[in-house]
Structure 1
């Protein structure tokens, strides 16, 4: 009697619905990259993903880099699908012509986001409310808050009645003391996944980001035709130039230095219980070669 093949359990990849995350994942979704086992995806806003990572809910999840030290025991940090700002990033906006007091009320996109940590260091007296990132611009316009930090595609196109009070990039440069890129978001993989399988998953996702980047025009058109992104073609192209580019495929030494600096800053300001180095918490790819050598 012929035995049925046993299919491995699917791997859940959770990512945000913003254009760069969708772009970097959809080479898998469209079948351009073969997966070692079935992948399923969930698209949720970044703070929902951060909260889910604290609960260990998904196999692989997009996270804000500032969250990572808090989940380091449960998740390994992946080298791929990363977003860094280089001279740009989230923006603190307010109504034109207004002046912010020291204790101004501000809307942030989530307690565990990178921009929230840097903002809280720079503005310790501000009164913070947390909102879905899509609601922040409206909250400022309607006077619910005095200011808000815009993220994702919102940084490229916001209401003409608003103006930038300060760039989070400038806060980062003051704290970091150099021109390192601003670490915003990446991916983490649950440590309970067997190591060889974890290596395969990371390699697959790395290939997907690379394939997406090399076929950017075709993939971008497919996303637009299927209404999978919230922005038009010109804005999508500009946004992908910022956050889904050659340096998103795999972290380089400069990005690792920036990540270590972010973790150091967070520790020095009481956000983490101990200092960590990013590279110490990544998947050891050399294991596969040594095992089968």
Structure 2
């Protein structure tokens, strides 16, 4: 009997791109049926803490809060390399130490790094699509833009600080900025979890191999908020060959992120990311 897997992801272009090769039937799903659920990333973070979905996109910065209930997947990962979310303000605005800032969610990675760097700032949380206007209108002093909004924002605004620069200051040089990934519920049988991870890895591979065709289809079906050159630029940043499977350098960056969280009292102990991945040796033993 085929198994149905709930696959929850955000409606952002990189998530859509990485999962829709499966949705369009371009990947062998080995008899599994995937039920796509699209929600904003902070809602997904909160639902993950409730254990709602089988597989869910999450912010890397909140993973230690769900590590007992979810394992991290090696695929569909987004890291920044010299770029990432941006703290923006109006050009005519000077920020005080306790400035009021709009963030896209308490549990996002960018919020974790922001609060660590600006402990006296006063965060308010809102949908990321509302942040730019909140800054323009003066409802907040500044805001952290994420996703596609980092590429094109109102000309009255300017960048106060790149989250990438905050990451480098906190973590040191040479590590990519961890942003988001996927987690799978531990209550799924291990052999099923391995199957699902391999299917998702194939999905991201195929998406990259058929990038032009997939982008054309996503735009034609109105599944993404940006198009043409902006879409290509955004996917080159967050949904590329670097998204297929966690590298040793990416694992090192995650370990550093979780060490920082421990040092700033966000969780009780540092974690080694590799200990929370699905054990590949199980499938290798089964095949012997």
* Band of TM-score, shorter chain: over 0.9
- What residue in structure 1 maps to residue 81 of structure 2? 86
The 5-angstrom pairing of residues 143-162 of structure 1 reads 143-162=138-157
Question: Which ranges of structure 1 fall in alignment gaps of 5 or more residues?
Answer: 1-5
The equivalent position to 1:192 in structure 2, one of 142, 164, 187, is 187
Moved beyond 3 Å, runs of 4+: none
Deviation track 1:131-171 (CA, whole Å, cap 9, x = no partner) reads: 01111001111111000000000000111111000000000
Bigger mean CA offset, 18-27 vs 282-291: 282-291
Deviation track 1:249-277 (CA, whole Å, cap 9, x = no partner) reads: 00100000000000000110011111101
Tell me if 1:134 matches 2:120. no
Q: Secondary structure at the match of 1:288?
A: helix
The equivalent position to 2:109 in structure 1, one of 110, 114, 130, is 114
Tell me if 1:182 matches 2:187. no
- What residue in structure 1 maps to residue 26 of structure 2? 32
Deviation track 1:151-192 (CA, whole Å, cap 9, x = no partner) reads: 000000111111000000000000001220000000000000
Question: Which ranges of structure 2 fall in alignment gaps of 5 or more residues?
Answer: none
The 5-angstrom pairing of residues 1-293 of structure 1 reads 6-8=1-3, 10-36=4-30, 37-293=32-288
User: Normalization by structure 1: what TM-score?
Assistant: 0.97
Q: For residue 233 of structure 1, report the CA deviation from its aligned partner.
A: 1.1
Cα distance between partner residues in 2 of 1:291 and 1:255 = 28
Cα distance between partner residues in 2 of 1:292 and 1:153 = 43
> RMSD of the TM alignment (CA)?
0.7
Q: Secondary structure at the match of 2:256?
A: helix
Cα distance between partner residues in 2 of 1:147 and 1:179 = 28
Q: For residue 7 of structure 1, report the CA deviation from its aligned partner.
A: 3.4
Cα distance between partner residues in 1 of 2:182 and 2:109 = 14
Cα distance between partner residues in 2 of 1:207 and 1:232 = 25
Cα distance between partner residues in 1 of 2:234 and 2:22 = 21
Q: Secondary structure at the match of 2:82?
A: coil
Deviation track 1:28-48 (CA, whole Å, cap 9, x = no partner) reads: 000001213111111100000
Cα distance between partner residues in 2 of 1:223 and 1:155 = 20
Q: Secondary structure at the match of 1:141?
A: helix
Number of aligned residues: 287
Cα distance between partner residues in 1 of 2:38 and 2:8 = 6
Q: Secondary structure at the match of 1:63?
A: strand
Q: For residue 202 of structure 1, report the CA deviation from its aligned partner.
A: 0.1
Deviation track 1:3-55 (CA, whole Å, cap 9, x = no partner) reads: xxx333x1000000000000000000000012131111111000000000000
Q: For residue 97 of structure 1, report the CA deviation from its aligned partner.
A: 2.5
User: Normalization by structure 2: what TM-score?
Assistant: 0.98
Cα distance between partner residues in 2 of 1:184 and 1:142 = 28
Cα distance between partner residues in 2 of 1:65 and 1:7 = 31
Q: For residue 291 of structure 1, report the CA deviation from its aligned partner.
A: 2.5
- What residue in structure 2 maps to residue 3 of structure 1? none
